Structure 1
Amino acid sequence: MADDRQWGRRSVLRGAAVLAGAAASVPLLGGAATALAGGGDADALFKAGEFERAGRAYEEILKRDPKNLHAARRRGYVGLLANRFADAEKYLRMALALAPGDKDASHFLADCYIRQDKLGLSAPLWKAAGEDGYATWFAAVRGEAYQVHGETARLPIQQMDPMPLVEASINGGPPKRFTFYTGAPNLGLRASVAREAGLSPVASQKIDFEGGSVWAYYGILDSFKLGGIELRNVPVGWSATESGDDVDTESDGLIGMWVFYHLLTTFDYAGRQLILRRRTPEAARKARAAATRAGVEPLPLWLAREQYLHSRGSFAGAAGSRTGMVGVNFGGVGEIAAGMRGKTAEQLGIRTDHDRQIGTFAHSHPAVVYPCYPKEIRIGNAVAKDIYCYTNPNQPVNVPWPYGTGFDTMGWFSHCFWKPYNVTVDFTDMNLYIARGAAA
Structure 2
Amino acid sequence: MTDTTPIPSPLGRRAFLRWAGLAAGAAATAAHLGADPAEASSAVFAGPPGASSGVAPGADPDALFTAGRFAEADRAYARLLREDPRDAHALAQRGRIALLSNRFGAAESFLTRAVRLAPGDAFAKRQLAECHVRQDRLAPAVPLLRGTGDPTDAAFATQYAGVTGAPYELRGAHATRLPFVCLDPLPCVQAGVNGSQPQNFLIDTGATLALSTRTAERAGLRALATSTTQPAGQTLTTFHGVMESFRLGDIVLRNVPVVWYDLRMPNLPDGSQPSGVIGTTLLYHFLATMDYAGRALVLRRKTAAQRRALRADLGRAGAERLPLWLAGDHIPCTLGTVNDYGPRVASLDTGGMNMGIMMTEETARRADVKIDYDNPRSNGGITFYPIRPARISLGRVAGRDVPGFAGGWPWLRLFGFETIGNFTHEFFKPHAITFDYAGMTFHIS
Structure 1 length normalisation: TM-score? 0.85
Q: Structure 1 residue aligned with 2:140, among 93, 103, 121?
A: 121
Contact persistence 1:264–1:425 (CA under 8 A): yes
- TM superposition shift of 1:260: 0.1
SS in 2 for 1:404: helix
The amino acid of 1:205's aligned partner reads S
Which structure features the higher share of strand residues? 1
- TM superposition shift of 1:36: 11
Contact persistence 2:194–2:243 (CA under 8 A): yes
Report the more deviating stretch, 157-166 or 193-202: 157-166
- TM superposition shift of 1:250: 2.2
Q: Structure 2 residue aligned with 1:423, among 391, 408, 433?
A: 433
Q: Report the equivalent of 1:3.
A: none
- TM superposition shift of 1:164: 1.9
Tell me the alpha carbon deviations over residues 212-250 of structure 1, each in whole angstroms, 9 at most, x when there is no partner.
333210100001101111111101111138xxxx77762
Cα distance change, pair 61–288 in 1 and its aligned pair in 2 (3 A): farther
SS in 1 for 2:414: coil
- TM superposition shift of 1:137: 1.3
Distance in 2, Cα, partners of 1:284 & 1:268: 17
Tell me the alpha carbon deviations over residues 247-268 of structure 1, each in whole angstroms, 9 at most, x when there is no partner.
7762111111111000111100
SS in 2 for 1:313: strand
Tell me the alpha carbon deviations over residues 158-188 of structure 1, each in whole angstroms, 9 at most, x when there is no partner.
1111122111111111111100111112x21
1:226 aligns with 2:254: no
Q: Which runs of 5+ in 2 are unaligned?
A: 1-8, 26-46, 267-271
Q: Report the equivalent of 1:379.
A: 394
Tell me the alpha carbon deviations over residues 351-384 of structure 1, each in whole angstroms, 9 at most, x when there is no partner.
1111112233xxxx33221100111100012101
Q: Structure 2 residue aligned with 1:50, among 42, 56, 69?
A: 69
The percentage of aligned residue pairs carrying the same residue is 36
Distance in 2, Cα, partners of 1:377 & 1:256: 24
Cα distance change, pair 56–289 in 1 and its aligned pair in 2 (3 A): farther
- TM superposition shift of 1:295: 3.5
Tell me the alpha carbon deviations over residues 126-146 of structure 1, each in whole angstroms, 9 at most, x when there is no partner.
122322111111111122100
The amino acid of 2:66's aligned partner reads K
Contact persistence 2:191–2:247 (CA under 8 A): yes
Q: Report the equivalent of 2:229.
A: 207
Q: Report the equivalent of 2:168.
A: 146
1:324 aligns with 2:344: yes
- TM superposition shift of 1:58: 1.6
Distance in 1, Cα, partners of 2:227 & 2:143: 19
The amino acid of 1:324's aligned partner reads R
Distance in 2, Cα, partners of 1:227 & 1:16: 29
1:354 aligns with 2:373: yes
Distance in 1, Cα, partners of 2:307 & 2:257: 25
Distance in 2, Cα, partners of 1:247 & 1:303: 25
Distance in 2, Cα, partners of 1:395 & 1:169: 34
Q: Which runs of 5+ in 1 are unaligned?
A: 1-6, 24-29, 436-440
SS in 2 for 1:49: coil
Contact persistence 1:336–1:417 (CA under 8 A): yes
Q: Structure 1 residue aligned with 2:197, among 169, 174, 182?
A: 174
1:188 aligns with 2:190: no
Q: Structure 2 residue aligned with 1:411, among 421, 428, 439?
A: 421
The amino acid of 2:22's aligned partner reads A
The amino acid of 1:255's aligned partner reads I
SS in 1 for 2:76: helix
Q: Structure 1 residue aligned with 2:220, among 186, 195, 198?
A: 198
Distance in 2, Cα, partners of 1:124 & 1:159: 42
Contact persistence 2:13–2:329 (CA under 8 A): no
- TM superposition shift of 1:290: 3.4
